[in-house]
Amino acid sequence: MFNSLPTYILRRLGEILPLLFGLLTVVFFLARLMPGDATDALISPTIPASVREQLREQFGLDRPLVDQYVSWIRSALRGDLGVSFTRAEPVTTVIAGVLPNTLVLGGAALLIEVVLGVLLALPVLWLHGTRREQLLSRLLLGVYAIPSFWIGMILLMVFSYWLGWFPSSQMYSSDQYGSFSNLIAHLVLPALTIAIPAAAALARYMRSSLQNVQRQEFVLFARSLGLPRTKIVRSYILPNAASPLIALAGVEFGVLMTGVLVTETLYSWPGMGQLTVHAIFARDYPLIMGCVLVAGVVVAIGNLAADVANAILDPRLRFTR
């Protein structure tokens, strides 16, 4: 049976929804397995113990777990993710306030990753089989193995504290809130922190792809025609080697979005990573669920985009067995 692209997308969505439902169910019960609850913050000699009980009742924490779960699912289906226990705002409002910041950081990191990854992979076309190529390959492997927080600390120390070129934290300076140039300045170091190891991995992937394409008959044919090398690279090798990257970028975006946790803390970037850490430590269950839902949706969309890109590039994938 041949599937049109919209049908293919619908089918993939149909597969994603049960996955999301499963993820949320597991996280709901796992979060409740953590010791304590959101009222732990009220263990204080200055707060009467009765206040904790009143709050447990208000938050519905005194109800059976399954009741709480059913109630959360019902509300979530209506688009109501509840009120954050700690931030005294609807979860949707809290997330809407910080999600764009993470999208900006994730997007910038992805852009740098792809550009840097491709630039680092290209020398393979000229250096294939040489010692320099081996050196570059090892270097890429080394960079890939470095934890991103360590890269972040080095970047911070050199470019912020020593040279003073870039700000060390947050999205804007307090006196330049909303300024685009100020945002770009703040974005450089955290985006690089995320992008550098990812670019190293991408470059290694791209190198293999370039090498494969370089050996294809149509490239040999182009060479035999005496076409200039730059033309062969630009018109034949790159488009064919880069097509898998489009699919890879979709997957990477989801990974980047959920992997900014350490970087956001290191650079005090006001995004989903910081919010998720806060929610977990505060046992703010509605906020935990909201953050997991967003992360799940972003990863799913990234994967879906990758699948769709693959399906467009290779229509055979739209066939089902």
Partner 1 sequence: MKLSRATRWLLAIAFACAIFWGCNRKHQADEATVTIAIEGDVLSFNPLFTDDLVSAEIAQLLFPRLVEPEFDYTRGLLSFSPFLASSWEFSRDSSEITFHLRRDAVWSDGVRVTARDVQFSFELYADTVVASVRQGVTQHLRRDRGRVNVATSVVPTNDSTIVFRFEKAAATHLFDLGVPLIPHHVLDTVPRAHLRSHRFNTSPITSGPFWLERRVPLQQIVLRANRNGWCGITPKVARLVFKVLPEHRTRIAQLASGEVDLVTGLRLEDAEPLSREERVALVSTVGRDYDFIGWNNIDPQAYRASQGKVITPHPLFGSKNVRRALTMAIDRTAIVRAYLGKHGQEAFGGISPLFAWAYNDTLKPLPFDPQRAVRLLEMEGWHDADGDGVLDKAGKKFAFTLKIASGNQLRDVIATVVQQQLKNVKIDMNIERVERSTFWNDLIERRYDAWIAGFRLPLQLQLDVWWHSDLQRSPFNLVGFRHPRVDEILERVRSLNRQEDGAELWREFQALVHDEQPYTFLFWISDLVAVNKRVKGTHIGIFGATHKAWEWYVE
> Contact positions toward partner 1, by CB under 8 A?
34-36, 40, 42-51, 54-55, 58, 83, 86-90, 94, 97-98, 161, 164-177, 179-185, 188, 265-266, 268, 270-271, 274-275, 278, 283
For the bound state, the minimum distance from the C-beta of residue 157 to partner 1, rounded and expressed in Å, comes to 9
Q: Residue 286 and residue 89: Cα distance in Å, rounded?
A: 11
Q: Which is nearer to partner 1, 118 or 143 (CB)?
A: 118
Q: Which is nearer to partner 1, 6 or 35 (CB)?
A: 35
Q: Residue 257 and residue 264: Cα distance in Å, rounded?
A: 11
Whole-Å CA distances, 69 to 73, 122, 297: 6, 52, 20
- The values of phi and psi at residue 83, to 5°, are -110, 135
For the bound state, the minimum distance from the C-beta of residue 1 to partner 1, rounded and expressed in Å, comes to 44
Cα dihedral 186, 204, 262, 163 sign: negative
For the bound state, the minimum distance from the C-beta of residue 234 to partner 1, rounded and expressed in Å, comes to 16
For the bound state, the minimum distance from the C-beta of residue 162 to partner 1, rounded and expressed in Å, comes to 11
**CB 266 within 8 Å of CB 279:** no
For the bound state, the minimum distance from the C-beta of residue 97 to partner 1, rounded and expressed in Å, comes to 4
Q: Which is nearer to partner 1, 250 or 290 (CB)?
A: 290
Q: Which is nearer to partner 1, 8 or 267 (CB)?
A: 267
Q: Which is nearer to partner 1, 138 or 234 (CB)?
A: 234
Q: Which is nearer to partner 1, 200 or 261 (CB)?
A: 261
Whole-Å CA distances, 231 to 122, 215, 228, 241: 14, 16, 5, 15
For the bound state, the minimum distance from the C-beta of residue 310 to partner 1, rounded and expressed in Å, comes to 31
Q: Which is nearer to partner 1, 188 or 251 (CB)?
A: 188
For the bound state, the minimum distance from the C-beta of residue 249 to partner 1, rounded and expressed in Å, comes to 23
- Residue whose tokens read 């980047």: 256
H or E segment at 152? helix 148-155
Whole-Å CA distances, 92 to 18, 173, 197: 22, 26, 32
SS3 category, 267:
coil
H or E segment at 321? none
Q: Residue 213 and residue 224: Cα distance in Å, rounded?
A: 16
Q: For 41, which DSSP code?
A: G
Q: Which is nearer to partner 1, 208 or 268 (CB)?
A: 268
SS3 category, 283:
coil
Backbone dihedral region of 215: left (phi > 0), alpha (psi from -120 to 50 degrees) or beta? alpha
Nearest to 101 by CA among 243, 320, 263: 263
- The values of phi and psi at residue 90, to 5°, are -60, 140
For the bound state, the minimum distance from the C-beta of residue 36 to partner 1, rounded and expressed in Å, comes to 4
For the bound state, the minimum distance from the C-beta of residue 257 to partner 1, rounded and expressed in Å, comes to 16
Q: Which is nearer to partner 1, 7 or 93 (CB)?
A: 93
